[in-house]
Amino acid sequence: MALDEAALLAEANRINYRLRSTFFYRKLKEYKTLSFRSKIDALLPVKHLYSWDGWANWGIGEDAFTYIREHDNLELIQAFCHPRLIREHPIIIAYYRNIAALSQKAVKYLVSVDVKKVEIDEDNRYSLTEDQALKLSRLFNEHISLIIDSSIESITEDELYGILLASTGAQIDGSWRNAIGEEAEKVVQRLVVKEAKERNLIAALIPRVGTGIELYNSEKLEEQLGNIERYRGIMLVNYTSILFSSEPDISLIGNQGTTAGVIEVKGGADPAGALERYGAAKKSFEEALRRNPEVQTILVASCLTTQVHTRIQNDSTISSYFNLTEILSENSIQYNQFVQEVFSIIGA
């Protein structure tokens, strides 16, 4: 293997696994997996209002039902899916699906019910029909009963939640394969926000929905910056702003409303697609320069071949280029150069 090929392969592996780590964390928050337990706990005060007389019709095995019913530390609604409960609280479907170790794709294939939109619907806009609720309950309970039986009636509350987390991890891993480019954008956006926070520059956050503004509150740091995907940008104390979108991925807006800089992030791990990623970034930069010839353009990319590197160095539409793999190391020279350039463009 040629030296250049070996170096590209090593970089591809490094960027792939680094972005995979941040993707898992981001998706865990997006799926709200850690809130499932509290959602079920919130229903325990009304557990007596659910009749389980129809348990056999709901796909629950007799031995599994008896074991959970007589368990000292487990309630029936913690282990089994009641059809009325998921009609009242459709968002709880995600809990039972993961306890059953089923993916959203598997559910759709097995019972022809698409649960994806229901599981993320915090406003309860979608409801289940009687037939859908029964199909889902039977499916989940059949799998959960099998799990309990296979434990030889020894499963614990902690093990139930362990299955839930393992199932979520498998779903995240399955969705990762097509998400490296998106995750690269998200990581760089969060790095820019983190640096703005470190420099005490954040004045407010701009939500993606509506026209309201959230003033930055250091006491709500985890809530606000931990869910940065909810925002389309940040306002800085020097009357400038940083906006997140697509084409370009990041826009640096000056205090007079003009675009002072644009950043394109291309995080593919396949060197064979390097030329295509470069072409997409160049197209975005050309459009930005057409609107404002003075705009500064920054390309952040990974796994670029020697041929593409040469093109970048001779491309007048690209003001600066940074290697994504390198800037993900916070104390690296490239990271420091990148954030310094970003904030100098908007005079921060």
pTM: 0.71
Average pLDDT over residues 78-103: 93
Cα gap 159→98, rounded to integer Å: 12
In this predicted structure, what is the pLDDT of residue 121? 77
From residue 14, alpha-carbon distances to 84, 227, 258, 267, 268 in Å are 48, 26, 37, 11, 12
- At 329, the pLDDT band (50, 70, 90 cuts) reads confident
Residues 306 and 291: their CA atoms lie apart, in Å, by 31
Cβ neighbourhood burial of 87 (10 Å; 0-12, 13-18, 19+) = middle
Q: Report pLDDT for 330.
A: 62
For 180-191, how does the pLDDT look when each residue is reduced to its tens digit (9 = 90+)?
788 888 889 888
Q: Please say if the pLDDT value at position 315 is more than 60.
A: yes
Per-residue pLDDT for 175 more than 80?
A: no
216 burial class (0-12, 13-18, 19+ CB within 10 angstroms)?
buried
| Mean pLDDT, rounded, for 270-282 | 85
What pLDDT is stored for residue 164 in this prediction? Answer: 86
Lowest mean pLDDT among 17-21, 71-75, 123-127, 208-212: 208-212
Q: With pLDDT > 90 as the criterion, what percentage of the chain qualifies?
A: 49
pLDDT of the residue at 32: 81
- The answer on pLDDT for 177 being more than 80 is no
Tell whether the model's pLDDT for residue 210 goes beyond 70. yes
Question: What confidence category does residue 1 fall into, taking pLDDT thresholds of 50, 70 and 90?
Answer: very low
Could you write out the DSSP letters of every residue in 257-304? S-EEEEEEEE----GGGHHHHHHHHHHHHHHHHHH-TT-EEEEEESS-
Contact 341, 297 (CB under 8 A): no
- pLDDT at position 3 over 50: no
More confident: 111 or 7: 111
Interval 81-109 mean pLDDT: 93
Please say if the pLDDT value at position 2 is more than 60.
no
Q: What integer pLDDT is reported at residue 199 of this predicted model?
A: 93
* Residue 113 in this model has a pLDDT that exceeds 70: yes
Task: In whole angstroms, give the CA distance from residue 251 to residue 253.
Answer: 6
Kindly state the average pLDDT of the residues 153-161: 85
pLDDT, residue 157, reads: 84
Instruction: Give percent of the chain with pLDDT exceeding 70.
Output: 96
Mean pLDDT within 249-272: 89
